[in-house]
Structure 1
Amino acid sequence: MRIAVYGATGMVGGQIVKESLRRGHEVTAISRTGAAVRGAVARSAELADVRTFTRVAEDHDAVVLATVPSRAGGDHGEWLGAMRAAFGNAAGTRLLVVGGAGSLEINGVRLCESPNFPEPYRPEARTMAAAYDEIRSAPEALNWTMLAPAPVMQPGRRTGTYVTADDSPAGHSISTEDFAVAMLDELEKPAHPRSRFTVANTVPGNDRLD
């Protein structure tokens, strides 16, 4: 399968590239710098470049968006606009999106609106939640799936196992390695067409969300 990954040099995108190559797929690793990624075809592009994105979507069986809003004080509206444009120009290919845990809910309240949510991360979480709201209203022709991580996601180890849920967190944490496993499992055997789901590792004593 021909897979293009935007954000290919990031913490999550890099693991998705690695897992895709591990499974024998042809990967185009797209980043702003076009940095070399062993085993993949490196390409420099901005998500906001609609013309390039459209060509990438036409040339690949699936496109993975593993990008995030600016964490350096940039305008989050620019990222959201780029995501919106991607949603409108990806028809004809499979689109998989790395979502944010902040849009998940507990007792009907989004995590990003919870009083206990870390304030420094609230703006980014709200922007990523807005991206989820945007893709839910995308045209029927768009074959999309969004995968949201557990509230805590960080590099760890690849166990190859995880648990899933829909709108509420499945557990406390997920390694970036197993997040990538879940993304590729969904890509190879679609189970969540035009919907979002979330994944977590099962760690005894570390799966509470109090």
Structure 2
Amino acid sequence: MKIAVYGATGMVGSQIVAEALRRGHQVTAVTRTGSEVEGAAARAAELGDRKAYKEIAGGHDVVVFAIPPSRAGESHEPFVSAHQDIAETLVKARVFVVGGAGATEVNGVQLKDTPGFPEAFKPEAESMSRVLDAYRDASGVNWTILAPAPMIAPGTRTGEYKLGADSPVGDSVSTQDFAVAVLDELENPRHENRRFTVAN
């Protein structure tokens, strides 16, 4: 399978690249600067560059987006607008988005709107919620969003995890096992045109 990964050098994206390469897939690492990633082809592209996205999607079976919105205080509008555009751009490639835990639901209420949700993470959660809405409103695009558990961090690759629909199924997940879940879904699609969640 030909897989392009935006955010290929990030905490999550690097593990998705590693897992895809481990399984023998052809991977293109997409970053702003075209950084070299061992075992993968390199491509420079910005998230909001529609022309580059269409070129990349045209040469791959799947395009994975493992890029969070800015955590440096910058506006999230370009990030949200880019995903809104991607959701409305018809391509043959499957679109796979690394979602956010804040947009998952507890008793029908998004986690970001529950008491005690950290204020520092609320802007990112709000933006990821809007991204989810954009794909849910899309037509003609084959998309999937996988949201991690509330805590995601580097850890150990166990190859074991739990899946859920819209509600968290655990408190944490390692980036390695998150990547295993991503590749399992790409190789054996079971959540096309919907969001699901994963935890250890």
TM-score, with structure 1 as normaliser = 0.93
- Residues 30 and 90 from structure 1, CA distance in 2 versus in 1: closer, same or farther, beyond 3 angstroms? farther
- After TM superposition, list the pairs within 5 Å mapping 1:8-157 onto structure 2: 8-139=8-139, 141-157=140-156
Percent identity at matched positions?
56
Q: CA contact under 8 A between 2:54 and 2:91: conserved in structure 1?
A: no
| CA apart distance, 1:91 | 2.5
Q: CA contact under 8 A between 1:103 and 1:110: conserved in structure 2?
A: yes
- Partner-residue secondary structure (3-state), 1:123: helix
Asked whether 1:183 is paired with 2:182, we answer yes
Range 83-92 or range 160-169, more displaced:
83-92
Range 170-179 or range 65-74, more displaced:
65-74
Q: Distance in 2 between matches of 1:171 and 1:88?
A: 32
Aligned equivalent of 2:162: 163
- Partner-residue secondary structure (3-state), 2:27: strand
Q: 1:65 is aligned with what amino acid? A: F
| CA apart distance, 1:72 | 1.1
- Partner-residue secondary structure (3-state), 1:11: coil
Q: Distance in 1 between matches of 2:20 and 2:84?
A: 25
Deviations 1:36-55 (A, max 9, x none): 10000111110100000001
Q: CA contact under 8 A between 1:57 and 1:90: conserved in structure 2?
A: no
| CA apart distance, 1:90 | 4.6
Q: 2:151 is aligned with what amino acid? A: V
TM-score, with structure 2 as normaliser = 0.98
Q: 2:144 is aligned with what amino acid? A: T
Q: Distance in 2 between matches of 1:8 and 1:102?
A: 23
Q: Distance in 2 between matches of 1:119 and 1:102?
A: 11
Q: Distance in 2 between matches of 1:173 and 1:16?
A: 17
Q: Segments of 4+ in structure 1 off by > 2 A? A: none
Deviations 1:94-124 (A, max 9, x none): 1111000001111111111112111101011
Structure 1, unmatched stretches of 5+, are 202-210
Q: CA contact under 8 A between 1:69 and 1:124: conserved in structure 2?
A: yes
Q: Distance in 2 between matches of 1:11 and 1:89?
A: 27
Deviations 1:53-109 (A, max 9, x none): 001111101100111111112110010011111122253111111000001111111
Q: Distance in 2 between matches of 1:90 and 1:68?
A: 23
Q: Distance in 2 between matches of 1:105 and 1:42?
A: 36
Alignment RMSD: 0.8
